[in-house]
Amino acid sequence: MEKKALTTRSMDITERLTRRIISGEYPVGSKLPTERALAEEFDVARHVIREALKRIEAVGLVKIRQGSGIYVQRLHFLAGIEIFDILLTDEYGAINYPFLLDVMEFRKHIVRTVVNLSVERHTDEEEIEVRALFLELLSSPEADRERVYEALFERIAYSTHNQVYALLFNSVGRIFLKLRRTFEIPIVGITGVSTLLGELLRAYSERNSEAADLLIMGYLEMLDQSLKNMAKARAQAQAVAAQNGGAPPDA
């Protein structure tokens, strides 16, 4: 029980220090306070601080130089993926709306590019696989849909026959799935999505990149509107809870 409590405390310190770094409180190139100073601030043993710092170093936010100090590194893309949850919400669970909009804008551009290349370059065998996964997605129970959804868009990414886009999908695909989980958005439950995806599959089969682009834009706009509605609803619920002196709803 004590070990679990220390681990939880270390995770809490990891998140708080991470927020200080990404907010600019500790600028790039600056030194963090020493382990001793941090241990005193958080009222924990130094090994708890050391464990938190190792986590932060593992995602590339700091560099620990023995005998010199702990230096803040520039936030890089993969680190941003690892700390996505921290970037998306503040310490009270409120949505970082500007960051959410940035994510949606980025997703729109990358997904459109991947789909258009896939439409133009896919093989007949890949088309058969994509069609089978699409049909499975529509017929699967909700509990299985995320697995099929991920497999479907992974196959589309790989059918671009561009290794960089395939690798990029393996990284940013996790962000898009986390975003959907955060707001509990159903994969095909939004009105009109099933029909739209069916039309997208037809454009994919016909190698009609112009139609595919219009359809994927419509699909992403549906998802984006759902995300915005969910984010605003959560913000309103948190504001009401704060006014009533209660705890904000769970993230």
Reported as a single tens digit per residue, the pLDDT across 106-124 is: 888 888 999 999 999 999 9
Q: What is the pLDDT of residue 219?
A: 82
Query: Mean pLDDT in the chain?
Result: 83
Q: Which structure tokens are listed for 36? A: 């001793």
- Running DSSP on this structure, what letter comes out for residue 68? T
User: 84-243: what fold?
Assistant: Four Helix Bundle (Hemerythrin (Met), subunit A) (1.20.120)
Predicted confidence (pLDDT) at residue 243 exceeds the cutoff of 60: yes
> pTM value?
0.68
The residues near 52 (Cβ < 8 Å, ≥ 6 apart) are 10, 11, 13, 14, 17
Length of the chain: 251
Q: What is the pLDDT of residue 178?
A: 72
Q: If one looks up domain 2-75 in CATH, what number appears?
A: 1.10.10.10
Better-predicted residue by pLDDT, 242 or 13: 13
Q: What is the pLDDT of residue 1?
A: 42
Q: Dihedral sign for Cα 30, 36, 42, 48, please.
A: positive
pLDDT tier at 50, thresholds 50, 70, 90: very high
Q: What percent of the chain has pLDDT over 70?
A: 84
Mean of the pLDDT values across residues 98-110? 84
The torsion of the CA quartet 184, 187, 192, 194, rounded to 10 degrees, works out to: -170
Reported as a single tens digit per residue, the pLDDT across 164-218 is: 888 777 677 767 777 777 766 665 555 567 788 889 899 999 999 999 999 988 8
Domain ranges of the chain: 2-75, 84-243
C-alpha span between 48 and 43 (Å, rounded): 10
